[in-house]
Structure 1
């Protein structure tokens, strides 16, 4: 596994932790308020959580999820980093 893919994998693990926290909070809020917006957030969090878990699984099981091209590796790492920034922002706002 290349260094960039290792970084992408670590970012996916961070995303999993953030998404688990968000999904837990949104699940608790949905049980309390039962609004469609919170249900949408709950589904959003669950789907992204599944996607990140699948990505980590494929990173380790096949040693690569993508073509193995260094250009792809950097693109995947950048996209995972952007997702992490977005999730950190969303987690910050949600927990305030």
Structure 2
């Protein structure tokens, strides 16, 4: 896989993660308004922080590709980590929607 493709994969995972985290945040905010428990507030805080982290990653992927340009192993690690985060968020979203 070329360097541009690897960053494109990492960017796609980060974008999908933003969507999943937005869904989770909306659901958990609704639940917090209903139940007012600290656990749900913690889930909202978790989702917001992860949402900001993924949005920041997208910014860096699109604006500063040069950071990753000379290090294919770093690009691969970033793509794998984004993919793992996607899988974790997919399970969390699935469980939350049930």
Tell me the TM-score range normalised by the shorter chain. over 0.9
Instruction: Give the number of aligned pairs.
Output: 96
Residue segments in structure 2 that go unaligned for 5+ positions in a row: none
Q: Distance in 2 between matches of 1:14 and 1:41?
A: 19
C-alpha distance 5-54 of structure 1, shift in aligned 2 (>3 A): same
C-alpha distance 55-28 of structure 1, shift in aligned 2 (>3 A): same
Counterpart of 2:89 in structure 1 is 87
Counterpart of 1:36 in structure 2 is 38
1:10 to 12, 16, 31: 12
1:31-79 per-residue CA deviation (whole Å, 9 max, x = no partner) reads: 1111010000000000000000010011111125547400001100000
Residue segments in structure 1 that go unaligned for 5+ positions in a row: none
Counterpart of 2:23 in structure 1 is 21
TM score, norm. by length of structure 1: 0.94
Pairwise CA distance, 1:88? 0.4
TM score, norm. by length of structure 2: 0.92
- Across the aligned residues of Structure 1 and Structure 2, the Cα RMSD in angstroms comes to 1.4
Pairwise CA distance, 1:21? 0.1
Larger helix share, 1 or 2: 2
Q: Distance in 1 between matches of 2:88 and 2:76?
A: 18
